[in-house]
Amino acid sequence: MTHDAATLAYYEKAAPHYAASTAQDRHRHLDPFLDRLAHGASILELGCGCGADAAHMAKRGFRIDATDGTRAMVRKVRERHGIEARVMRFDELEALAHYDAVWAHASLLHLPRASLPAVLAKIRHALRPGGLHFANYKLADDRHSGEGRDPLGRWTNLPTADWLTTCYAQAGFEPVDSEIYTGNGSDGVVRQWLALTVRKPD
């Protein structure tokens, strides 16, 4: 499968909760990522949620194309921030050398592992030469070593850091920065995450 229908259905229903949550501030990795880009760069956001990151990017002067797989989330972005977000699943990305950067905070982790390489190829194609891509993933641990559903019923791929690094390398990306950190997801489970910034070669 290229996406998980139950996960999309969860976000359609939960959009009001996420919009009201005080946890929906921009992610701490966002400004360091933006600092690597030229002012006014074009950024594609995959899985924009309720739009906190998109709004911050726009405020900093970047051109943002905010996308999400659910109509309810897209409506919240428009209502809260006045940003013309659009509905697009990851597997529907078809752009070619169109963006300077692709931001995917806590979104690609919902892809089935088997689908991730094809989506990474789409992201690489969508980037201009030298373009940057950020994504972060929940990692497998001793209790949860395989992909499956989290306590909220969402699909989570739970890879290892080594598997992800190899997957990005095979997709043709060059490493720029990475960090393993401890994070508390919206499902209430504290686990290790991997944040990756990679580059499409010139």
Q: What 3-state class would DSSP assign to 188? A: coil
The radius of gyration computed from the CA coordinates of the chain, to the nearest angstrom, equals: 16
The domain tally of the chain equals 1
Tokens standing for residue 146: 């395989």
CATH number of residue 121's parent domain: 3.40.50.150
Identify the pLDDT of residue 24. 54
Measure the CA dihedral 47/39/36/50, to 10°: -20
Q: Are 30 and 103 in contact (CB under 8 A)?
A: yes
- Name the pLDDT band for 161 (thresholds 50, 70, 90): very high
pLDDT at 186 over 90: no
pLDDT at 23 over 60: no
CA distance 142 to 196: 22
Q: What is the mean pLDDT of the chain?
A: 93
Q: What 3-state class would DSSP assign to 101? A: strand
Q: Are 105 and 84 in contact (CB under 8 A)?
A: no
Kindly give, in sequence order, each residue whose CB lies less than 8 Å from that of residue 136, ignoring residues fewer than 6 positions away.
Answer: 29, 105, 106, 109, 193, 194, 195, 196
What is the DSSP-derived secondary structure letter of residue 109? G
What is the extent of the structural domain holding 185?
A: 5-199
What is the percent of the chain with per-residue pLDDT over 70, rounded to a whole number? 96
CA distance 138 to 126: 24
Identify the pLDDT of residue 21. 65
The arithmetic mean of pLDDT across residues 72-100, rounded, is 96
Identify the pLDDT of residue 22. 46
The arithmetic mean of pLDDT across residues 104-131, rounded, is 97
- Name the pLDDT band for 150 (thresholds 50, 70, 90): very high
SS3 content of the chain, % helix, strand, coil (to 5): 35, 30, 40
Which residue type does 1 have? M
Identify the pLDDT of residue 57. 97
CA distance 173 to 3: 23
Give the length of the chain: 202
